[in-house]
Amino acid sequence: MLSLALLVMIDQRAQGQTITLNTGLKVETVGVRRDRELVMGKVQVGSGSGEVGYSAAQIAKIDFPEPRGIKLGADLLAQGQPEKALAELDPILAYYGPFKDIMGAWWSQAALIKVFALGALRRDAEAEALVAEIEKAVTDPVMARKVQVRLSAGLIRKKDFEKAIAICDAAIKQSTEPGILADAWVNKGDALFAQKQWDGALLAYLHVPVFYNDEKSFLPHALLGSARAYGRLDDTGRAKKTFNDLIAAYPKSAEAAVAQVELQKMQAP
């Protein structure tokens, strides 16, 4: 873990970061580090280098290049490999932890994907603790909304369906972010399905493949949910087709394994 975190640090320093102060002044650096309330930036001075320090309160944003592990972790999660996703995300969290209260750091994004991974592994207590940590640290309103919607999945597992649906409906009404909307519709579908509202659940799930087809991490869940809803509505043909579509499109996902079992049940005499 330490060596992976070190690789993240080396990669970030190789690419450099830009500190933008509240005054609008931009400071180009070749590396930053946190020293309590100060952010220290390494800068080139002629043929040499030195450090400049700014309090966190003076900084509007730091432009960090996106770590490769963010996309890789999300892709691994979509492929049904949450343990491998965690291995990619944890070094990012370790590196960005000291900067998580500053706009531009990738801690919240990595932490949110980790919440998904922990949820997939049914490590709900860890997921809830991390959600609480994100809520304390987040400064971006879009990220705050993502966290709230992700929290609704835990509420559904606790059978607090009305609160979960209220969170999802608020996100659907107020957000324009495709990832937030896809997550909200999937979770709303889960809540309605758990309440045996098959028509409403189906409609919610179908929003994802119809309107948010680029949000790949939500598609396997949405397809599985819609196939199950078709089954509950006695639409066996569409149920089988959707299960098969899921298996063909996402063969390595956890949802595909569930779809295989569901198909076997439907074909049993």
Indicate the domain borders of the chain. Answer: 2-63, 140-267
How is residue 133 written in tokens?
A: 């940590």
pLDDT of residue 15: 55
Phi, psi of 18 (to 5 degrees): -110, 125
Q: What is the pLDDT along the chain (269 residues), one digit of tens a residue?
A: 445 444 454 455 445 788 899 999 898 888 888 888 888 888 877 676 788 888 989 998 898 888 888 989 988 887 778 899 999 999 999 999 999 888 888 898 899 889 888 888 888 888 888 888 887 877 677 877 887 887 788 788 889 999 999 999 999 999 999 999 999 999 999 999 999 999 999 999 999 999 999 998 899 999 999 999 999 999 999 999 999 999 999 998 889 999 999 998 887 66
User: Across the chain, how many H-helices and E-strands are there?
Assistant: 12, 6
Which residues does 222 contact at the CB level (< 8 Å), separation at least 6? 182, 185, 186, 189, 205, 206, 207, 208, 209
Q: What are the Cα distances from residue 65, in Å, to 10, 87, 96?
A: 12, 20, 12
Burial class from Cβ neighbours inside 10 Å (0-12, 13-18, 19+) for residue 33 reads: middle
Fold (CATH) for 140-267:
1.25.40
pLDDT of residue 162: 94
Angle (CA) 239 243 248, round 5°: 145
Name the 3-class secondary structure at 268: coil
Distance CA(25)–CA(7), nearest Å, equals: 29
Distance CA(187)–CA(199), nearest Å, equals: 15
Q: Which residue carries 């590196």 as its tokens?
A: 95
Q: What are the Cα distances from residue 201, in Å, to 168, 187, 229, 244?
A: 13, 9, 7, 20
Selected from 1.10.287.130, 2.30.30.100, 3.90.180.10, 3.40.50.150, the CATH number assigned to the domain covering 2-63 reads 2.30.30.100
pLDDT of residue 177: 92
Burial class from Cβ neighbours inside 10 Å (0-12, 13-18, 19+) for residue 78 reads: buried
Question: Quick one: DSSP state of residue 253?
Answer: S
Of 96, 93, 97, 77, nearest to 85 by C-alpha is: 77
Q: Which residue carries 């949910």 as its tokens?
A: 225
